Amino acid sequence: MKMNEDVHKMRAQILNLRSAGIACATAVHRFPPCGKPGGDHLQCPEARAAMTQIYEDMKDLMLAVRMALAAAFNFDPDAWDLLWELNEESTCAERDIAEHGEAFYTDQDEFIEAWGEMDNDIMEMLGTGFSKGEWKVLSAKTAWQNGQRLPQVLSLLKYLEDQIASQFDLFDSVLHSGLLGDCNVGKWAAKKKAARA
């Protein structure tokens, strides 16, 4: 199969989105209690609505990423066509894709916990390479991903990655807005900063 620039972009975008999905699942796993449903919201009453919304949006994004990557690695393009149709008809693609995905994934909490506790070596491996099965799908001579649907794949995967990036920007702005006082969010932010160092 002759490689072209867009095929390279698609494969790189898949890896980018996988890394973003890992980061999103880790964030949801470590999310401060005040932002989780059923959590203690008394610690930051002014920001509880924003925190809860960020938490729910991150979960939707993580599920949408799972759906998109599963469809991209599917031998049958029908799975992708359904996802793209949802995207085309939606004003909030990640939410609608996630809502559709709830029927397929009943293990969200277990998945979040498993990804949230991965060590750095496993995260790096998942974010930088393909398994044998994935590579077989993406490099097949008749791979649908490398044909007329390729622009769709690039478009949706990039959109989801951008949404995750903007969600993290929003989260950081809430963390540093001064609204949260001595809430547990500050401890989470410190842990996140230490992990980056």
Over range 10-31, report the average pLDDT.
87
Q: What is the pLDDT of residues 105-140, one digit of tens each?
A: 667 777 777 777 777 777 677 777 888 889 988 888
184-195 average pLDDT score: 67
Token pair in block for residue 29: 């796993």
Specify the pTM.
0.81
Residue with the bigger pLDDT between 137 and 180: it is 137
Q: Are 177 and 20 in contact (CB under 8 A)?
A: no
What is the model's pLDDT at position 112? 75
Quick: pLDDT tens for 46-88: 677 778 888 889 888 988 998 899 899 988 888 899 889 888 8
- DSSP string for 162-193: HHHHHHHHHHHHHHTSS-STT-THHHHHHHHH
The confidence band for 42, taking pLDDT boundaries of 50, 70 and 90, is: low
Q: Report the SS3 class of residue 120.
A: helix
End-to-end CA distance of the chain: 42
pLDDT of amino acid 178: 60
